[in-house]
Structure 1
Amino acid sequence: QSGETTARDAVWYYPDPCPLVEPIRDHLAFWGNAIRYDTSPG
């Protein structure tokens, strides 16, 4: 939640993390207890 806005099923990433946590660069972070994802051929 940010102010009066609530995001459900939020996801974000860190394109330029500090050197201490460099391994998380471009990894996705999910908010919530579980995730569901679908894939398609392509």
Structure 2
Amino acid sequence: MKSVGITGGIGSGKSTVTQIFAFLGIPIYYADVNAKTILRSNKTL
């Protein structure tokens, strides 16, 4: 399996590209959402 990282500044189209990938059935890992969930649930990190 290949991994692709999407980076860029504000308004550069990261969300648009992610939505297109999701529409095509490509699995998406939302690092920001998952990091916030971990930090909220585990204060000892």
Higher relative contact order (CA 8 A, sep 6+): 1
Q: TM-score range by the shorter chain?
A: under 0.3
* TM-score for the superposition, normalised by structure 2: 0.26
Which protein is richer in strand relative to its size? 1
* TM-score for the superposition, normalised by structure 1: 0.26
Which protein is richer in helix relative to its size? 2
